[in-house]
Amino acid sequence: MEELTNIVELYYANRRTMRTNLFNSSITEFTNYPKDRNPQIPLPKRGGFLSVQASQYNYCSPKEDTGPYTSYEVAYFDKNDNWGKLPELGESSDGQVYGWVDKDIIVNLLKSEGFSPSQIRKLLPDE
């Protein structure tokens, strides 16, 4: 049973990596995306991970490829790798991505997950 659990975990980790790589290559190939995507942020207490993005192509402020940013585009994927909702952010307009999320909200969310201020600065785009 433990071996099966490990296989399932490996499958989901590989699926997430493949999806991210495909998304990143599609963005770069089709839009000449000049900026790398910000890495996924694991959420140890609630499980899953957070995607926090900021660039000229994202729902953020300023809508530029360099910060400092005052708001971000955010998505949450649960531990089963499905789009999820963040109660702290209410409803998203499309049920998947939250646009123009205030930086302080993201910082507080990451603090509640156990990240220190110095870790948070390293996790957020161009901080």
10-69 residue pLDDT tens: 544 555 565 555 555 555 544 566 678 899 999 999 999 999 999 999 999 999 999 999
- Is the separation of the CB atoms in 72 and 110 below 8 Å? no
Which residue in 126, 125, 127, 120 sits closest to 43, CA to CA? 120
Write out the two tokens for 90. Answer: 């209410």
What's the CA gap between 42 and 46, in Å, rounded? 9
pTM summary value? 0.72
Locate the domains of the chain by residue range.
Answer: 1-33, 35-123
Q: Please say whether the beta carbons of 60 and 52 come within 8 A.
A: no
Closest by CA to 10, choosing from 63, 103, 81, 66, is: 81
